[in-house]
A and B are shown apart, each in its own frame.
Chain A
Amino acid sequence: MSNDNAKTNFQWVGKRTRRPDGVDKVTGRARYGDDMSMPGMLHCKVLRSPHAHAKILSIDTSKAAAIKGVKAVLTSAEIPDHPLSKPPYAPIINDMHDISRNVMARDKVFYDGHAVAAVAATSERIAKAALKLIEVKYEVLPHVLDPIEAVQPDAPILHEDQFTFLGDKTSEIPSNLFRSSVGERGDLDQGFGEADLILERDFSSEPVHQGYIEPLACVASTSEDGCVELWTTTQGHFVIRALCSSLLNIELAKIRVTASEIGGGFGGKNTVYGEPVAIRLSQITGRPVRMVMSRKEVFRSSGPTVGSRTHIKMGVKNDGTITAAEVETWYQAGAFKGAPTGRAVETYFSSYTIPNLKATVHDVCVNRPKVAAYRAPGAPMAAFAAEGIINELANRIGMDPIDIRLKNAVTEGDQSLGGSVYGSIGLIEVLNQTKNHPHYLAPLGPNQGRGLALGYWMHGGGLSSVSVHLLDDGSVTVATGNPDIGGSRSSMRVMAAEELGIDIELIKPIVADTGSMGYSHLTAGSRTTFATGWAVINSVREIIEKLCILAAKKWEIDVNDVSWEAGHAVSTKSGDSIKPLSLKELAAMATKMGGAIAGHSEINAGGTGAAFCLQLVDVEVDPETGHVTPLRHTVIQDVGRAISPDYVEGQMQGGAVQGIGWALNEEYVYDDQARLQNTGFLDYRMPVASDVPMIDTVIVEVPNPNHPYGVRGVGEPTLVSAPAAVANAVENAIGKPMSSLPLSPPKVLKAIEQIQVAAE
């Protein structure tokens, strides 16, 4: 896979074209997770713990099982157990021991909403009625919600078998702290010694739910020969297959997973919740089993992002040079280990050349749902602290916020704290374009503030498989293994059309099931257009090679004398007047001259390229209520190459508005028993249309030199900088550092009142 020739002249790339799955989605035809039903299907409902932390003493299911219409009642006894995984630990841990306990609690419950038992019945109403008859005896234990409290010596311990991993050994006694990721360089003492101004500050952020509008839903159907058909809403059906296979000890080939259309995920649909339970219930009853979570269950039981507590210290010279930074962060992993600590270390300060650095990020278990990935896992809360303190430093030394960033910006050849060496990157372009943007120069009114923040994200690569088939009439199918969560079919089609040199309308992209394709990793990590798109390009190039051979055969010339130009095989022999053969003509010949033509690609894509996103935000703060109104919002992002600009902008706008929600409203509210209080969209308040302004976008294109078309990841970088930019705007509006998300009206009002008291 050589890519040093990133393409620049495009016929389809960068055009605004209607998406291939659009009509189905505006007419109600598209089938999502909950839109599948099968003959004889049973309905599954799950009994969930009312306690945040308790021992399960006994479960009596006999009364529930006796109800007419109940076909099975399941507890963890029906889910195979697995040993704890051992070091060395991967950056992202899929520990079957933990996952099996998360899908169905074994001896203890670890959070309000933890699954304890499940019923399969002939109707949802009967299943719900049966749940009420399951008798569970608990011994309630003390709980802990805060990650710093959870690492104190007297904290309640969630897992008696979890010891802190210390590299070559583990802690002597059980601990809620699973591990700490550390990154460092330079000499902190020397760095802080060189600073003219040193600031220290504490930051905090709360868990935020991905808030996808489509609840988790699946249908499992198993047969007497041990085969499993699973329909589910997921960001990666190959990952679901792998997890169900390991968890339930079923051979991979016997599980066929079809990904439904997916109604949003943002990382929240990267793992299993109901799938293994539905499969087991189907195995027990011999009937298809449907399992759909209610919104309340989604909030109580599926993973939000990590909440964070951070202490940060940064030193700067009067000319704006940042000389040193040190940060320690505690992430809430929720009930089981696995907070994205490594990504946080990688993300801290990755936009800057700070010579002396140390970042320590702790992975701490608390009595909340196990965190799941959420759009740039671990990064937005790190950026909130880093960009917040830089904002304050710039204010204190009287420097323009863009100039201080330009002064310290990384360029090609620099290294992130995580060790990545940057290739060609667009950070300087992003900063310069911001500086010249009308938004940056516009005046502000009273009670208004402007904030900006920078975000960094290194998107994913990894395994992707693609099959492209040329059909007899010259039309083409492109099959990938990646669920289309926000328009990826569109980019796949554009890239295939670009390579083939034909009209996009001749190309039909589909998402194939796990039985039809090689392994494809998640639609996550901003990797799909990059990695799966690359596999599309490779597959199409294989087809073009085959077509050139076909043409050479037909013309009885050497294949080296045939090239592919604008959808035609062309003879390049000088003085040759052979009429070019179109794709359509070649397709019609193919089956008669050797067989159908297809191209395949199974890749492990490397060559990811760092992406930077700056957000510029104006807000107005109501001094009477503390309410913050976003007035103007501009996203300036290096996307490498915008394959489908409409959907690139869509990602930028959607990420920005999620960030506004993180910054201003969204948080989990618990009572004193650690029971979640805001389990619906009314109380868990995500931004609605009237809360936000238009989101302007500036697409910066500094091609990723490691990709054939120059693509960088797009979906995640926007969220990284959004909460920080909004918080900085509020801070600049009221003139007081704001360090605790969300900046809800009571907090902002309190800050304003403190300023007024101080002034009196």
Chain B
Amino acid sequence: MARHLITTTINGDEVEFACQPGQTLLEVLRTELGMNGTKNGCGSGDCGSCTVIVNDRPINACLVLGVELEGAQVETIEGMADGTELHPLQQKFLDHAALQCGICTPGILNMAKAFLAKNPDPTESEVRFGLAGNLCRCTGYDKIVRAVLDAAQEMRAPK
């Protein structure tokens, strides 16, 4: 099958990949580019574990085709830390024990990052609705919500 050559930016680096018309961004990341940090929990847009940020919007990578990404800015979990410095959300997830098995974590971190960019000072309920597209079967969400609220506070504080 003919493959399309796509040029895009992933985590700040220009990346070229060839993909088939039917391949999703999730497949491209995981199988073509070997970036396994983005997880596949359902492949149908229902669990949020494949959440990445494309042009500043959180999306389910399993619902977007690779060919749609020409010229796009893609952010994945692999690029969340600043070099060796963890992002405040990553720090707070560790401090609050906001993960158990961790399979939902990359998607939830990306969703929280995109959410806080829009709403830097959310209420508990806003965080819950902001994360409602991301399933976590382990934690019961309590510590995740606390970690996001705490990270928001830290990110708001003047440096």
Is A541's CB within 8 Å of the partner chain B? no
Choice from A18, A25, A30, A265 contacting B95 with Cβ under 8 Å: A18
Residues of A within 8 A of B (CB): 16, 18-19, 21-23, 25-32, 34-35, 37, 210-215, 261-266, 294-295, 485-487, 646-647, 649-651, 653-658, 680-682, 686-690, 692, 694-695
Q: Do B105 and A25 touch across chains, with their CB atoms under 8 A apart? A: yes
Choice from B38, B77, B137 contacting A686 with Cβ under 8 Å: B137
Q: A30-B102, A212-B103, A295-B43 are in contact. List 5 more A-B contacts (CB 8 A).
A: A16-B97, A27-B78, A28-B36, A213-B39, A680-B46
Q: Do B127 and A214 touch across chains, with their CB atoms under 8 A apart? A: no
- Min CB gap A534→B, angstroms: 22
Q: Do A689 and B90 touch across chains, with their CB atoms under 8 A apart? A: no
- Min CB gap B12→A, angstroms: 16
- Min CB gap A669→B, angstroms: 16
Is B68's CB within 8 Å of the partner chain A? no
Q: Do B40 and A658 touch across chains, with their CB atoms under 8 A apart? A: no
Given known contacts A19-B97, A30-B102, is B37 in contact with A692 (CB within 8 Å)?
no
Please, how many angstroms separate the alpha-carbon atoms of A294 and B97 in the complex?
29
Given known contacts A266-B137, A650-B138, A695-B142, is B86 in contact with A23 (CB within 8 Å)?
yes
Q: Do A215 and B143 touch across chains, with their CB atoms under 8 A apart? A: no
Residues of B within 8 A of A (CB): 30-31, 35-44, 46-47, 49, 76-78, 80-81, 86, 90, 93-97, 99-106, 109, 124-125, 127-129, 131-145
Q: Do B132 and A486 touch across chains, with their CB atoms under 8 A apart? A: no
Q: Majority SS of interface residues in chain A?
A: loop
Given known contacts A688-B135, A689-B132, is B100 in contact with A487 (CB within 8 Å)?
yes
- Min CB gap B129→A, angstroms: 5
Q: Do A262 and B101 touch across chains, with their CB atoms under 8 A apart? A: yes
- Min CB gap B101→A, angstroms: 5
Q: Do B99 and A26 touch across chains, with their CB atoms under 8 A apart? A: yes
- Min CB gap B97→A, angstroms: 4
Q: Sample 10 A-B pairs with CB under 8 A, ordered by A number.
A: A213-B47, A213-B49, A263-B102, A263-B104, A295-B42, A650-B138, A682-B46, A687-B141, A688-B132, A689-B127
Given known contacts A688-B132, A689-B144, A690-B132, is B101 in contact with A27 (CB within 8 Å)?
no
**Interfacial chain B residues near A651, Cβ < 8 Å:** 100
Q: Do A213 and B136 touch across chains, with their CB atoms under 8 A apart? A: yes
**Counting chain B CB atoms within 10 Å of each CB, which of A26, A215, A487 scores highest?**
A26
- Min CB gap A24→B, angstroms: 8
Please, how many angstroms separate the alpha-carbon atoms of A308 and B43 in the complex?
31
Q: Do B137 and A264 touch across chains, with their CB atoms under 8 A apart? A: yes
**Counting chain A CB atoms within 10 Å of each CB, which of B35, B95, B104, B140 scores highest?**
B140
Given known contacts A213-B136, A646-B97, A689-B145, is B80 in contact with A27 (CB within 8 Å)?
yes
Q: Do A486 and B140 touch across chains, with their CB atoms under 8 A apart? A: no
Q: Do A261 and B43 touch across chains, with their CB atoms under 8 A apart? A: no
Given known contacts A27-B78, A264-B103, A264-B138, is B128 in contact with A650 (CB within 8 Å)?
no
Q: Do A654 and B140 touch across chains, with their CB atoms under 8 A apart? A: yes
- Min CB gap A379→B, angstroms: 19
Q: Do B90 and A26 touch across chains, with their CB atoms under 8 A apart? A: yes
Given known contacts A264-B137, A681-B46, is B143 in contact with A26 (CB within 8 Å)?
no
Q: Do A650 and B100 touch across chains, with their CB atoms under 8 A apart? A: yes
Query: Chain B: which residue is nearest A694 at the CB level?
Result: B142
Please, how many angstroms separate the alpha-carbon atoms of A26 and B39 in the complex?
12
Please, how many angstroms separate the alpha-carbon atoms of A210 and B135 in the complex?
13
Choice from B40, B43, B77 contacting A27 with Cβ under 8 Å: B77
Please, how many angstroms separate the alpha-carbon atoms of A649 and B131 in the complex?
21
**Interfacial chain A residues near B99, Cβ < 8 Å:** 22, 25-26
Please, how many angstroms separate the alpha-carbon atoms of A654 and B143 in the complex?
10
**Counting chain A CB atoms within 10 Å of each CB, which of B35, B47, B100, B101 scores highest?**
B101
Q: Do A263 and B39 touch across chains, with their CB atoms under 8 A apart? A: yes
- Min CB gap A702→B, angstroms: 24
Q: Do A32 and B106 touch across chains, with their CB atoms under 8 A apart? A: no
Q: Do B141 and A681 touch across chains, with their CB atoms under 8 A apart? A: no
Query: Chain A: which residue is nearest B31 at the CB level?
Result: A37
Choice from A18, A22, A29, A214 contacting B37 with Cβ under 8 Å: A29
Query: Chain B: which residue is nearest A681 at the CB level?
Result: B46
